[in-house]
Structures are given as structure tokens and as C-alpha cells.
A = this chain, B = another copy of it.
Amino acid sequence: MKSKGNMKTTSKGKSEKRVFHNNDECPIRNVVAQIGDKWSVLILFVLIEGPDRFNSLKSRVVGISQRMLTQTLRDLEREGYVNRTVYPEVPVKVEYELTSMGRDLIKPLYQLVSWAETHHDEIKRSRKAYDERS
């Protein structure tokens, strides 16, 4: 990890305890804060398979409301992960697709997904054990 502005050491010669700040200048928090919401990762993984339209997305991300789909897509677009294209037909057709940065984000995200699937049971067991202790 490169030592950016938001991660400093208490430099007294030998680098010691690194300090972390939670603000807009923290790259990891910037990304995690965006994809950490309720729907972003699911939408991203749906869009891996190719461009898709609003209502199709709505049916593939089960349980999402119109409001949250719109809002999450806007956020992803603002971050630069998703492109929005309007085809002025009647009725209107709108397609969403991953940008190159969006497709690039998928790679580390996919690592996390694989990890999550591998450890899913272990996590569930840990939760159960924790809850039974208390």
C-alpha cells in the first residue's frame, strides 16, 4: 500500500502505528462507501453479463424498488462505473452498461465474491457460535 495522505505513521524513526482517516481523501473508503450500499454490487454483477435495460434490471435484481434502482444507477454513473444511453424511440429505451473502469472494478470485486462464497458457511457458523455464547 502506498502511503497516501490519509494513512500516516507516528514516525519516530522506525515506522510504527499507521493511522487511518475516514474522509473523502481515503481511496478505500471512497470505493467501499459506494459499493457497500444495499444494491450496488448486485447491479454491477448483473451488468457484467452485458448491457441491460431499466425494467430488465429491476426484475433481475430481485426486491429492488424503482426508486433505489434509479438512485443506485445514478450513483454508479457518477462514480464512472456505469454508462447510461437513451434511445429516443417510442416508448423510450434506456440501456445501462459497465464502463471500462466498471469492468475493471469487477476483477477485485470478483476476488471478494469468490472469497465470500468460500467462507460463507464458516461465517454463518461463527455467528451462530457467537450468538449462543451470549
Contact = CB atoms under 8 A, between A and B. Distances in A.
Interface of A: 1-2, 4, 17-23, 26-33, 35-39, 41-42, 45-46, 49, 52, 56, 59-64, 77-80, 101, 104-105, 107-117, 119-120, 122-123, 125-127, 130-131
Given A22-B38, A22-B61, 13 more contacts: A18-B60, A19-B59, A27-B117, A28-B116, A30-B120, A31-B115, A31-B116, A32-B36, A33-B38, A79-B123, A80-B125, A80-B130, A108-B115
A36 B37 contact: yes
Sorted nearest first, the 6 A-B pairs with minimum C-beta distance are: A36-B36, A80-B126, A27-B116, A108-B111, A27-B120, A31-B116
